[in-house]
Structure 1
């Protein structure tokens, strides 16, 4: 009996072990699987940036410039910058502004600036609020760009997300929506290379940012194109703001003499403070934000001699471009007043030898 009892106890222990082992063995992988699923879920909390269907002017980026001509007609103005790239102006009237940057080596469109109520910028609209934009797409704070087999990480702060949100399209191009007074005022379409070279958004990765090739010198053709583009830009935004078009004064002989004297013999025109300001402007010529002189920097006699009394004028030692105004208009009083102040009815813009003179009056 004792032997039978021991046998039954041993049998029972063996059966318990036999049935318990698979359960114990199965439980451990389940825990591991759960942890694995948690880890995978954590990775998915940072989804990829939303990519919009390629539409509107975004479809022209990185494409032959001939497609622009098919859409907008022949450019009314073209300027070549040292054989590196060309700038084309289209539809030059006060309701439209379309400026393209063309790579002269490949003949493709690198960047496109579009302004004007009549220009299609699907899926967006001019004057559209940020709230309406977020109903079309989300505006991420981080983007990953691929260029020349390298990856770049850029980051938008809250102000940039509100004032110039960045949109990505499926064809690996981008759009910067420039907001003014609560609505879309300008759209800049561009490829990854132009986006990185613009320095608009900080690059948080350690990847070296491509350096743009800089044109050496300013030809009169480039100055003429810049002068025309600046005037058209001001007129288009004024009409979009429902303000009357500015009257553009013709270039007077007195203005030409004024600029020639300012370049050759500035001491005959400037006050002591004006001389110091001009000296600083020359030293800071390469800065992104143009340094300016105003009528307060000139003597009363100089203003009378050159018929510049009772007018506001701004002289910039370096070139002023439309792209600068798009992103820095509120810090450039000359153009900000010309665009937004209905008291002004006249404007004169003179670009010569890389310098810029803006005269506005009532």
Structure 2
């Protein structure tokens, strides 16, 4: 009996020691490196897609004489006040307009409804366009030996995609912000892309708009652009079976009054933060820092000057009216003004600033 009790006592002690050993004498832990899941990873930007240069892309940076051998003499030539001249050519399908700098083609703008301009076709939808052409959202470029990174938003890709050709030229293609049909194309070189720039720049700098000497007759230039913009708006409306806007002295005077009122005393309609934004944009002269009055601000401006209106907007900078028209049509909130029911249209332009005003026509008022 004593041997059994002794055996059980020894067994009990052995078991206790076996189970307590890891607790009293823990094994040395090996250091195992842990991969961090929140490390910053730097991705090398993928090269943007290019397509073969065709059609108008082959005329960019070429002497204007080469272009006019094919398309004839211009029907109108005007100075822009921004170191380029604008030439308009006969084009039954819509509008064909060219910017010329130092005797060379710098920008070609085309508006049409169903015309084919290789490799694009007017009237195609945004989705049809993206199915046909491999589009890039990011562009890694170099200008004057400096890297420039451009990023397109989802809306840009849908309504204002950028296409790069293999001859170092580009095309901005514009789609109607409502029905998503192609309405305009702008062919240009890198320098003008960086000046007109409707996209986000992540590195590098956009180029400032260059205003020519004050000795120019800006009153004449403003009137010429005013007429050209009204003609372009009505040409666009006619292409899509909409009646032309009428114009008149009253609505023109009201638009000019509103523009002058805002430019003279912007603080009357802008908060301090918005005033600071406006002043910064004016000093920078950069197209990618576009400034618009909000609907509430525009309404306050009209209310202060006791002017009735149905639709309207203020936009700055407007360096190239036809380019800006394409850009406005591609944005739903501005497109609703261009596509509004028949009204009286007033356009006021002061160098880089434009105000568009719609009022009920006198005939509509009389019928009421």
- TM-score, shorter chain, exceeding 0.5: yes
CA deviation string 1:214-261 (max 9, x = no partner): 2055712321232123212212322333322223x2435x95498469
8 Å CA contact retained: 1:58, 1:174: yes
**Aligned equivalents of 2:260 and 2:153: distance in 1?**
42
CA 91–257 in structure 1, closer or farther in 2 if over 3 Å, else same: same
Structure 2: segments with no counterpart, 5+ residues: 1-43, 283-288, 362-368
CA 129–80 in structure 1, closer or farther in 2 if over 3 Å, else same: same
**Aligned equivalents of 1:114 and 1:231: distance in 2?**
16
CA 68–118 in structure 1, closer or farther in 2 if over 3 Å, else same: farther
Q: Tell whether 2:274 aligns with 1:276.
A: no
8 Å CA contact retained: 1:197, 1:211: yes
**Aligned equivalents of 1:197 and 1:349: distance in 2?**
24
Q: What's the offset of the Cα at 1:186?
A: 1.3
Q: Which residue of 1 aligns with 2:78?
A: 79
**Aligned equivalents of 2:259 and 2:157: distance in 1?**
42
Q: Which residue of 2 aligns with 1:139?
A: 135
Q: Which residue of 2 aligns with 1:350?
A: 348
CA 117–143 in structure 1, closer or farther in 2 if over 3 Å, else same: same
CA deviation string 1:119-153 (max 9, x = no partner): 54211111212332234321123333243344433
8 Å CA contact retained: 1:166, 1:175: yes
Structure 1: segments with no counterpart, 5+ residues: 1-44
Q: Which residue of 1 aligns with 2:293?
A: 291
CA 150–296 in structure 1, closer or farther in 2 if over 3 Å, else same: closer
**Aligned equivalents of 1:231 and 1:330: distance in 2?**
18
CA 219–118 in structure 1, closer or farther in 2 if over 3 Å, else same: farther
**Aligned equivalents of 2:302 and 2:45: distance in 1?**
57
CA deviation string 1:303-341 (max 9, x = no partner): 5xxxx65x43647496643433432446696x6344212
8 Å CA contact retained: 1:266, 1:275: no
**Aligned equivalents of 2:194 and 2:338: distance in 1?**
29
8 Å CA contact retained: 1:78, 1:225: no
Q: Which residue of 2 aligns with 1:324?
A: 324
CA 250–78 in structure 1, closer or farther in 2 if over 3 Å, else same: farther
CA 79–241 in structure 1, closer or farther in 2 if over 3 Å, else same: same
8 Å CA contact retained: 1:235, 1:245: yes
Q: Which residue of 1 aligns with 2:231?
A: 232
CA deviation string 1:168-219 (max 9, x = no partner): 11211111111222221211111111223333333445xx335335205571
**Aligned equivalents of 1:70 and 1:166: distance in 2?**
28
SS at match of 1:214: coil
CA RMSD of aligned residues (A): 4.0
CA 233–279 in structure 1, closer or farther in 2 if over 3 Å, else same: farther
**Aligned equivalents of 2:245 and 2:136: distance in 1?**
39
CA 130–146 in structure 1, closer or farther in 2 if over 3 Å, else same: same
Q: Bigger shift: 254-263 or 125-134?
A: 254-263
**Aligned equivalents of 1:349 and 1:59: distance in 2?**
34
8 Å CA contact retained: 1:111, 1:191: yes
Aligned length: 298
**Aligned equivalents of 1:231 and 1:358: distance in 2?**
10
Q: Which residue of 1 aligns with 2:119?
A: 123
Q: Which residue of 1 aligns with 2:182?
A: 184
Q: Bigger shift: 257-266 or 51-60?
A: 257-266
- Out of 135, 150, 154, the residue aligned to residue 154 of structure 1 is 150
8 Å CA contact retained: 2:298, 2:314: no
8 Å CA contact retained: 2:255, 2:355: no
**Aligned equivalents of 2:109 and 2:267: distance in 1?**
37
* TM-score for both structures, normalised by structure 1: 0.66
**Aligned equivalents of 1:212 and 1:78: distance in 2?**
24
CA 291–52 in structure 1, closer or farther in 2 if over 3 Å, else same: same
Q: Which residue of 1 aligns with 2:8?
A: none
* TM-score for both structures, normalised by structure 2: 0.65
CA 245–71 in structure 1, closer or farther in 2 if over 3 Å, else same: farther
**Aligned equivalents of 2:45 and 2:271: distance in 1?**
51
Q: What's the offset of the Cα at 1:353?
A: 6.4
8 Å CA contact retained: 2:51, 2:164: yes
